[in-house]
Structure 1
Amino acid sequence: MPPADSSTTAATEARAAHAVVLDRITVRYGDARRGRRGRAPVTAVSDVSLTLDRGEFVVLVGPSGCGKTTLLRIVAGFERPAEGTATTHGEAPTPGRGTGVVFQQPRLFPWRTVGGNLAFALARHGVPRDARAARTAELLSQVGLSGMEHRRTWELSGGQQQRVAIARALAGEPELLLLDEPFAALDALTREHLQEEVRTLASRTGTTVLFVTHSAEEAILLGSRVLVMAAGPGRIVEEIAVPLPREPTTDVAALRGTAEFARLRGELAASLRNTATS
């Protein structure tokens, strides 16, 4: 068996050292052939590269149609690019393997209780039946829903349902958590509470997070790094580092009122305005 090429081995090791690597990703939709029913392909994302280190909280922000969700789906393994490569922890993305996903809508099973929804996820991840009740209680405690195992999902508020969705995503103890505008449909106060909880949860567990949003304020509050995307086709046009404290004990509510938070939010808002008019 011939020895592995040293450059190939080095590239493989470099990818494995990161939680996520997207290398020159291009995504196209539509028939590549023009014809009676075919359409010219539309390039949704063009030549996007990004890297997430383990434990990072990275936010993708940009206008509708810029490809944020498309990139998230590639990282999750739900889609494959037309060009380029994607890896999570050094391997090709596979749905459910080491990755939890939270969508804009909770997508819970309405015929199951809160505990039943989590038990289903735990069973899929191979947790023994006799360990599921304790793990369910632990997950609900993490998202501030202790004692609600027997509640029906339709009895919960929108914010509570989304907390259950986050708990379900954490059921397999994922190394990587992907969130696609999970708070967009919630009222402002509930949204603020969940932002603070997710930020604290990520800093406490060290989970790598890729988060999609339209909101400059949400992006600055949550991300340790923010990537600004533009449309036509989707591409990353700017990166903003967010050097705000991220310890689990950080008073997130107080952080919103600091001058540094206001400065970063203004910088990102200006970048988004420039992106929209360019």
Structure 2
Amino acid sequence: MPAVASVASVAESAVPAAPAVVLDGVGVRYGGRRGAPAVTAVAEVSLTVGEGEFVVLVGPSGCGKTTLLRVVAGFERATAGSALVHGAPPAPGGGTGLVFQQPRLFPWRTVGGNLAFALARHGLPRAERPDRITELLDLVGLAGYAGRRTWELSGGQQQRVAIARALAGRPRLLLLDEPFAALDALTRERLQEELRTLTARSGTAVLFVTHSVDEAVLLGSRVLVMAADPGRVVADLPIDLPRDGATDPAALRGSAEFARLRGALSRTLREAAAG
């Protein structure tokens, strides 16, 4: 006779997982003490990032994109509203990987040493670290680079190491703040395509900040458009492009649907900037 699941186990399996990120009416204000005028960086921002979603924030400089990322990362506290990451208040670490504009690697360590440091922070036993380092470097296209010094790498290769480091703890959420902004156009396109494929295969939820319309359309499953003074979300655009990891990104860039979505996002950004 087949085993019968208990009522409790059936109930637990029926409970959906909490979204990766939930912001509800989040506001962030600076100043306002000792006579200094208060500045509202963001106001009344509500958004949800579901499991496996790749959500992109775009908008003009000063609209609060990075501020929101810092709130989700647990580096900054909202002064209004609430923020939850996988159902709990945001906290540094805690299953979240971070990638910044600059790689911020330790120059005195090798590539493998940088990853080993991250793995140690995540509590991986020393004996298991070499295999995990090999796995991470294979994942970002840097197989055999463990013994290289970081200053021997190109900017694009350093950023790949930064992405590998962010993935070291098998995060359920990745936060990326314009990670490809300082790279040349060809390297940027290549890393965009690799990140798109990597996240599609892993199912990791992503919140990604950029100024690039093309980057937003290629990477995002949704694009949130922000306006400034104060920073707020003014549009939520779904991006219905194949995300199976098998579709050639170069073909996507040349498709009529990509051009249509790019045009729609450009118009929305202009409307947001106009107030």
- Asked if Structure 1 and Structure 2 have the same fold, meaning a TM-score greater than 0.5 normalized by the shorter chain, the answer is yes
Q: Distance between the aligned counterparts of 1:167 and 1:260, measured in 2?
A: 31
* Selected match of 1:245 from 242, 245, 250: 242
**Gap regions ≥5 residues in structure 1:** 1-12
The answer to whether residue 16 in structure 2 is matched with residue 23 in structure 1 is no
Question: How far off its partner does 1:32 sit?
Answer: 3.6
Matches within 5 A, 1:126-137: 126-137=123-134
The answer to whether residue 253 in structure 2 is matched with residue 256 in structure 1 is yes
The answer to whether residue 52 in structure 2 is matched with residue 52 in structure 1 is no
Aligned residue for 1:144, secondary structure, equals coil
Question: How far off its partner does 1:121 sit?
Answer: 0.1
**Gap regions ≥5 residues in structure 2:** 1-14
User: How many positions carry a matched residue from both structures?
Assistant: 261
Aligned twin of 2:7: none
Question: What letter is aligned with 1:149?
Answer: A
Aligned twin of 1:172: 169
TM-score by length of 1: 0.92
Deviates more, 1:16-25 or 1:148-157: 16-25
Q: Distance between the aligned counterparts of 1:70 and 1:150, measured in 2?
A: 36
1:98-121 CA-to-partner distances (Å, cap 9, x unmatched) read 100000000000000000000000
TM-score by length of 2: 0.93
* Selected match of 1:95 from 85, 92, 95: 92
1:183-228 CA-to-partner distances (Å, cap 9, x unmatched) read 0000000000000000000000000000000011100000000000
The answer to whether residue 184 in structure 2 is matched with residue 183 in structure 1 is no
1:79-133 CA-to-partner distances (Å, cap 9, x unmatched) read 0011111001100111010100000000000000000000000000001101101
Aligned residue for 1:276, secondary structure, equals helix
Q: Distance between the aligned counterparts of 2:107 and 2:268, measured in 1?
A: 41
Question: What letter is aligned with 2:227?
Answer: A
The answer to whether residue 80 in structure 2 is matched with residue 79 in structure 1 is no
Question: How far off its partner does 1:253 sit?
Answer: 1.1
Question: What letter is aligned with 1:29?
Answer: Y
Cα RMSD (Å): 1.0
Q: Distance between the aligned counterparts of 2:34 and 2:247, measured in 1?
A: 54
Question: How far off its partner does 1:17 sit?
Answer: 2.0
1:119-149 CA-to-partner distances (Å, cap 9, x unmatched) read 0000000011011011001000100000000
Q: Distance between the aligned counterparts of 1:31 and 1:276, measured in 2?
A: 27
Q: Report percent identity of matched pairs.
A: 72
Aligned residue for 1:246, secondary structure, equals coil
The answer to whether residue 226 in structure 2 is matched with residue 229 in structure 1 is yes
